[in-house]
Amino acid sequence: MKLNKKIAFLLVLVLLTTIAAGCGGTKTEAPKEVLIGANFELSGNVATFGISIMNAMEMAITEINAQGGVLGLPLKMVKSDNKSDAAESTNVATKLITQDKVIALLGPVTSTNVLAAAPVAMQYKIPLLTPTGTAAKVTVGDDGKTKEYIFRNCFIDPFQGQVGANFAVNTLKAKTAALFIEKNSDYAKGLGEVFKANFTKLGGTIVSEEAFVTEDKDFRATLTKINATKPDVIYVPSYYEQDGLIAKQARELGYTNPILGADGWDSGKLLEIAGAVALQKVYFTNHYSAFSTDPKVSKFVNDYKTKFGSVPDALAALGYDSTYMIADAIKRAGAADPAKITAALATTKGFVGVTGTVTMDDKHNPIKSAVILSFDKDGNQIFVESVNP
């Protein structure tokens, strides 16, 4: 009996020793790369935006890794297509964080899709940097508080709308304006409100306010109503698919005065949709000009053209800068730690990119300039003027 007890004791001791050795011998494998999640519109109604951003981001990552990566590790982008859909943006953000284990998120493109993804980033405390989501409420909640983990690398709609209104009144000498707003777009509604407030503040009169939905293709009936009010300018702050059709149909109906817009007009597909004639006297606010003589801009444009065969739009430039901003934040954080990266993004100061020099304010918005662009007789973009904050 005593012998059996002794044997049993020894067996238990061996088992416990084996378990302890197994636990103590298991080592956490060191990370081999730093994972960044990319949540972008690679298909759907604003796919050209997502694709141009992704192209530029991949170009930036290649450059960053050629320079040694971050923290001695290569930077890797895990990309997903949100299909230009808000619900899918939420799903993609969740997958990137919970399954792919990314430490930061880039994207989406549109404000509506950013707003859909932001609660996921907030829930899991992962920093999200949108290159292009311009709606003011992207980074600030209804309570007026800054969303801790949400950032952007583009000027906000209040600034963009104000620049558009000032240009209409001071440069184009417009006294009346019509608004044509995409009513299911946070981006368009926000811009419309700001333009209206600033245009009227400067002494202008809004003579017509009309709306459409994203899926609309024929705008002639509404444009006829707008035309009847004889506005000096029409403000259409939507995306290129709708913008191009609206410009084309407005010109076909005989509207010859200026049409104003925002950065959503900036797409290589716009000329294909609208035609060069329709783009005469079209002006829009944007984040940079590919025709800048700044050496940093020139290098970016030339490298992009060599690699992808086209001139990079502002979305590409913002995506390129945002990738470098994330890399810069990780380096300054000193660790691939979401909380430290969040703190580093919030204290970004004097970051020099192709879209300008960025200092992050307390609302997680960059302080940077805007430009006004138009089109020549062949439908090619031309620089009009630059506007500081």
- Spatial distance between the Cα atoms of 187 and 41, rounded to a whole number of angstroms: 15
Res 364: pLDDT: 98
Res 292: pLDDT: 86
- Spatial distance between the Cα atoms of 151 and 73, rounded to a whole number of angstroms: 24
Query: How many C-alpha atoms does 349 have within 13 Å on its Cβ side?
Result: 3
Question: Which residue type, as a one-letter code, is found at position 295?
Answer: P
Res 20: pLDDT: 45
Q: Running DSSP on this structure, what letter comes out for residue 280?
A: T
Domains defined for the chain, CATH in brackets: 34-155+294-368 (3.40.50.2300), 158-286 (3.40.50.2300)
Res 67: pLDDT: 96
Residue 206 host element (H or E): strand 205-212
Of 138, 190, 130, the closest CA to residue 164 belongs to 190
- Spatial distance between the Cα atoms of 2 and 41, rounded to a whole number of angstroms: 74
Strand order in the sheet with 356-360: 351-353, 356-360, 366-367
Res 3: pLDDT: 45
Res 17: pLDDT: 45
- Spatial distance between the Cα atoms of 233 and 67, rounded to a whole number of angstroms: 48
What's the length of the chain?
Answer: 389
Res 30: pLDDT: 65
Res 29: pLDDT: 64
- Spatial distance between the Cα atoms of 116 and 112, rounded to a whole number of angstroms: 6
Strand order in the sheet with 104-106: 75-81, 34-40, 104-106, 128-130, 150-152
Asked whether the CA dihedral 50, 52, 58, 60 is positive or negative, the reply is negative
pLDDT one digit per residue (tens) for the chain, 389 residues = 444 555 444 444 444 444 444 444 445 566 789 999 999 999 998 999 999 999 999 999 999 999 999 999 999 999 999 999 999 999 999 999 999 999 999 999 999 999 999 999 999 999 999 999 988 899 999 999 999 999 999 999 889 999 999 999 999 999 999 999 999 888 899 999 999 999 999 999 999 999 999 999 999 999 999 999 999 999 999 999 999 999 999 999 999 999 999 999 998 899 999 999 999 999 999 999 998 888 999 999 999 999 999 999 999 999 999 999 999 999 999 999 999 999 999 999 999 999 999 999 999 999 988 999 999 999 999 999 888 77
